Structure 1
Amino acid sequence: MTEQDKKPYDLEERTEKFAFRCRVFVKNLPKNISNIEYGKQLIRSSASQAAKY
């Protein structure tokens, strides 16, 4: 993709990076019941958003 063809707000790339950063964030959380459950939900939601775009 050339620079001209690139969208001004490349949401596909941004949502993919967001999903990856969410995964790294959850991986670094302390392991307890609430963090595990909320972490799973965050990973599912962010990955879903990236996949749907």
Structure 2
Amino acid sequence: MKICRKESKESQLWLKLIDVDEGIENARMNLLQEATELTRIFGAIIEKMKVNKS
């Protein structure tokens, strides 16, 4: 899960860095939102795994 979270964070970074024309800006923003949501989901899973181990 930590690797998945790290990869989704990296995807967010690259999606923020790329320069696209207006035609596909909407698609880039949708992908950025999805990567952000996945990062949060993986983070929540990691936190729940920590709680369950205790």
TM-score (norm 2): 0.52
Q: Percent identity?
A: 7
TM-score (norm 1): 0.52
Deviations for 1:3-30, whole angstroms, at most 9, x for unmatched residues?
xxxxxxxx1x223212221122213322
- The SS at the match of 1:30 is coil
State how many pairs are aligned.
42
1:15 to 4, 12, 26: 4
- Residue 20 of structure 2 is aligned to residue 31 of structure 1: yes
Gaps of 5+ in 1: 1-10
Q: RMSD value over aligned CA atoms?
A: 1.9
Gaps of 5+ in 2: 43-54
Whichever structure has more helix as a proportion of its residues is: 2
